Amino acid sequence: MLGPRTKTSGCKRGELPDRRCSPGAYYSKLTEAVICSPRFSTSTIRDVPQSEKFVVEREYGKAATYYGRSVEIDHIVPLELGGSNSIANLYFEPGSGKANYHAKDRLENKLHDMVCSGSITLRKAQRQIATNWKTLYKKVYGRAPEGGRRRLGTRTLHPRYPAAQPLPKVGIRMTQPGQAELILALPRWPAWASFSGA
């Protein structure tokens, strides 16, 4: 852990974690060599059960429920920087406002690149993002977090074909109280992006 966890209730909600409840934590075995390996994937270590997310929600004074994209139970030290799934490394982060989890996600990805290029050490990145990610964001980008969501309108499908391609559009329509229908509109793909089944 990056500090002692001295509170488990009455945690203050905001753009930054309440460090008395959520000081941040990392896995010591996730070294620079490990996280910078082309085979490293956060999906292999991401393990925060919903029951643990509910505990964090209650600690931060909220009802234990599903908040959708309005809130994220976020890793203070992100997994891509060797962050732990420990409750000491989780906090209730807003999805709106200037300093929200979308802006922090941008910083996390940039820091991973910086660590792997040798621009910053892993331990320094971990400590600085846990101390005050908004200050670190300003240091890295030269401006305060601007909020909003990451631009998800296009994606490169293959490095050999750098032209950005549209993403599918996803929507949810309520059909009855308590029931919803997922709507998926697929974009038109170029000829080179054709797929074949087995």
| Count of structural domains within the chain | 2
One domain for residues 118 and 181: no
Residue 22 in any domain: the answer is: no
One domain for residues 97 and 52: yes
One domain for residues 50 and 133: yes
Domain that holds residue 132: 32-141
One domain for residues 93 and 174: no
Other CB atoms within 10 Å distance of the CB of residue 31:
13
Residue 2 in any domain: the answer is: no
**pLDDT at residue 193, as a whole number:** 41
One domain for residues 116 and 181: no
One domain for residues 55 and 111: yes
Per-residue confidence in pLDDT tens, the chain, 198 aa: 889 999 999 999 988 999 999 999 999 999 999 999 999 999 999 999 999 999 999 999 999 999 988 989 999 999 999 999 999 999 999 888 888 899 999 999 999 999 999 999 999 999 999 999 999 999 999 999 976 554 433 333 334 334 444 555 555 665 666 666 655 555 554 444 433 343
Residue 188 in any domain: the answer is: yes
One domain for residues 135 and 176: no
Pairing of strands 71-75, 90-94: antiparallel
Residue 148 in any domain: the answer is: no
Whole-prediction pTM: 0.72
One domain for residues 70 and 133: yes
One domain for residues 50 and 108: yes
Residue 72 in any domain: the answer is: yes
Residue 14 in any domain: the answer is: no
**pLDDT at residue 14, as a whole number:** 87
Residue 36 in any domain: the answer is: yes
Of 133, 27, 140, which Cα lies nearest the Cα of 79?
27
One domain for residues 46 and 91: yes
Dihedral over alpha carbons 128, 133, 137, 140 (to 10 degrees) = 10
Rg (CA), the chain: 19
